[in-house]
Amino acid sequence: MADPIAQLAAARGIVPEFRDVTGTLRVTRTDTQLALLAALGEPVTSAADAAERLAMDVAQAGGLPRWCVVRSGERPDLGLSPVTDWQILCSGGLWHEGRGPRLPQLPVGRHILHVADARCTLLVAPVRLPLPPRLWGLIVPLAGLRPPAQGGVGDYGDLARMTAGAAAHGADFLGLNPVHAGFATDPGGFSPYTPSHRRRLSSLHIAVPETTQGGGPLIDYATEIPARLAALKAAFAQFAAGGDDPAFDAYIAQGGTSLRSFAAHQALSERHGPYWNHWPLPLQNPQSAAVEAEMQALAPQLRFHMWLQWQAETQLGAAATRARNDGMRLGLYLDLAVGTHPHGAETWEDRKSFAFGASLGAPPDAFARDGQNWQLAPFNPNALIDDGFGALAQTLRRQLRFAGALRIDHILGFDRAYWVPDGAPGAYVQMPLEAMLAVVRIEAACASAVIVGEDLGNIPAGLQTALADSGILGCRLTMFEQDWADPPRFHRPDSYPQASIASFSTHDLPTWRGWRAGHEIGLRESLGSVTADVAAEAQIQRKAEVAALDTALSPSEDAGSVDTMHYFLGATASRLVAVQVENVLDILEQPNLPGTVSEYPNWRQRLPMGPRKIGADPRLARVAATMKRHGR
């Protein structure tokens, strides 16, 4: 007899089994199914309870679909009867009313069809985004743009100076890690991929008068964050002393309830701590009377935190404008983190859009035998659908205000996301891929932006085809572009798909110099992540890969040079090439070592020189000349 719990779990998108990257079959356990159903907002306590919910599904079947993707320029066709009365609320606020199966042609956007008590989100999207021309750009760590002698944390002013330096060499985009709002009251919460709010900007990077002098090779956030916050408060006090500013008042009015809610969270964090699950219970609900009372008492602090967002948007916008004015065809290439902190500003403000009791993560692999728990709150697919995908659209739109290109971190989660519930093994949850890609195309088309999907890891079948069909660029890393044969064989540059961005590695992987030395393998052995035997075998494999790549790059004696690697990248068929500044400057250490927290200086490493010196460095000029020879 079929298990009702397993049936309900499958009906809610919880994948019953999968194979991990090692080929091991992983079957989703009952305790995992129950935990993930609860995280999805449908807790069940028994098989009988699950059977009752399944019966309710059958009784409710036969109505409108919850969403429908419509090709732009075509009419929606949902097979309505000739006597069906309907209403459509368009994304611009206009209403259409009518009867029968013939619905009107609608503009690109998200529209809501109402039929009696049922509703359907109509996602009118271009079939495919246009591919960009052959371009190249530079990837830099924003926080690390201050060299040791200068100290401090890289800011939006440094970013503008870096865009000028890169644009002078013909770079068409400047990429950086996420600039989402972080945790100003937790000096340990500085990872750009564990944000507090992805629809707000980091105040850590607002340019203010120097707060420190010198700082060594690593950023000391425990010193830098409080110093930056104190400098910002002093700058705001000076601003406030000048009286009202019409532009700031207009910004507040336009930001509305959402901006005020974010500012309230930030002000409450200063009083009660960074994470709302540790606050007094009445304050954990943003709609509570207790929150409203504190907001009244904290009115000056609210205005300060709204001013921070105004400054961040103004300064990041100025960097984006300068990039375009300096000739960059794409300008800023921003990064959208895959998830958000489960108890940050985003989940406090928008509780309904997220799943609680489970975190995003990754299944077991060779370097993480038990899998990974990223401690990030996932979007709840049912809530996304019920909201007409508004949370996803708003998140994308906030980034695309400043970006000509946007990288979506771990876009595999648009197909199926790996959720790790509290107290049970993880499993995959199916997401509404077709609808989510349509939302991406809608937002990108409205912003005339290029979208890159980070499609690395345990890739679901058909996902890369779906991305290419949407005009979303995949990621091709030279270190991984091989047949994994014995001996290794690397792919030719003309075999890279056009709909891709090519780079040697990423911030989570070794630099060119580090890869050749097997540096990260030695690090993992020293940290106990892998045994000595596994590390020794990996080092042997790495030496074979280095030799094979040298042969693929060039049979000449300079095959091992970084210039030859950049020449290979420039020759790829990929429309975009991303050059990592760590490779240009011959840096050994990678920015982030996945699976570590304090064991490795993740996101803390400074570059050895600042934006102006990087822009004047002859090594960057050589990269630019190479890219130009390849028509970029």
pLDDT tens column, 292-342? 999 999 999 999 999 999 999 999 999 999 999 999 999 999 999 999 999
Read off the tokens for 277.
Answer: 């699950």
Rounded to the nearest 5°, which phi and psi values hold at 117?
Answer: -90, -5
The pairing of beta strand 85-89 with beta strand 95-99: antiparallel
Residue burial 322-338, b: 16+ Cβ < 10 Å; e: rest: bbeebebbbbbbbbbbb
d(CA 549, CA 490): 6
Query: What 3-state DSSP class applies to 133?
Result: coil
pLDDT surpasses 60 at 1: no
The first and second tokens of residue 15, run together, are: 């994948």
3-state secondary structure 478-530: CCCCECCCCCCCECCHHHCCCCEEEECCCCCCCCHHHHHHCHHHHHHHHHCCC
- The pLDDT of residue 19: 87
Q: How many CB atoms lie within 10 A of CB 210?
A: 11
Which residues face 139 on adjacent strands?
175, 580
pLDDT digits (tens, 9 = 90+) for 499-511: 999 999 999 999 9
* CA 40 – CA 429 distance, rounded (Å): 10
pLDDT in tens, 439-481: 999 999 999 999 999 999 888 999 999 999 999 999 999 999 9
Q: Tokens at residue 67, please?
A: 């969403």
Domain segments of the chain: what residues?
Answer: 4-60, 67-125, 135-629
Q: Residue 560 has what pLDDT?
A: 83
DSSP string, 438-455: HHHHHHHHHHT-EEEE--
**55 pLDDT above the threshold of 90:** no
Residue 62 pLDDT greater than 60, yes or no = no
Query: How high is the pLDDT of residue 137?
Result: 98
Closest by CA position to 569, among listed 474, 472, 476: 476
Decide if pLDDT at 531 tops 80: yes
- Report pLDDT for 61: 53
Specify whether the backbone of 280 is left (phi greater than 0), alpha (psi in -120 to 50) or beta: beta
pLDDT category of residue 58 using cuts at 50, 70 and 90:
low
> pLDDT band at residue 610, thresholds of 50, 70 and 90?
very high
What CA–CA distance (Å, rounded) separates 455 from 464?
7
pLDDT at 527: 93
**Ramachandran class of 41: left when φ > 0, alpha when ψ lies in -120 to 50, beta otherwise:** left
Mean pLDDT of 123-140: 98
Q: What is the pLDDT of residues 148-159, one digit of tens each?
A: 999 999 999 999
Task: Look at phi and psi of residue 196 and say left if phi exceeds 0, alpha if psi is from -120 to 50, else beta.
Answer: alpha
* Predicted local confidence at residue 416, as pLDDT: 95
Q: Do the beta carbons of residue 64 and residue 458 sit within 8 Å?
A: no
Q: Region 604-609: what's the mean pLDDT?
A: 97
Per residue in 558-582, pLDDT tens? 778 999 999 999 999 999 999 999 9
* pLDDT value of residue 228: 92
Q: Are strands 118-125 and 109-115 parallel, antiparallel or unpaired?
A: antiparallel
pLDDT at 369 over 80: no
Tell me the average pLDDT across 513-521: 97
Mean pLDDT across the stretch 373-388? Answer: 95
Picking from 21-25, 26-30, 466-470, 627-631, which range would have the lowest pLDDT averaged per residue? 21-25
What CATH number should be reported for the domain whose range is 135-629?
Answer: 3.20.20.80
What percentage of the chain exceeds 70 in pLDDT?
97
**What DSSP state is assigned to residue 377?**
B
* Average pLDDT along the chain: 94
Of 17-21, 473-477, 486-490, 583-587, least confident by mean pLDDT is 17-21
Peptide bond preceding 487: is omega within 30 degrees of 0, i.e. cis?
Answer: yes
What is the Cα–Cα distance from 312 to 307, expressed in whole angstroms?
9
**β-pair partners for 500:** 474
Q: What's the confidence (pLDDT) of residue 146?
A: 93
Give, as one character, the DSSP assignment of residue 241.
H
Percent of the chain predicted with pLDDT > 90:
84
Helices assigned H by DSSP within 15-155? 30-39, 47-60
- Burial label for 532, CB within 10 Å (0-12, 13-18, 19+), is exposed
pLDDT of residue 54: 83
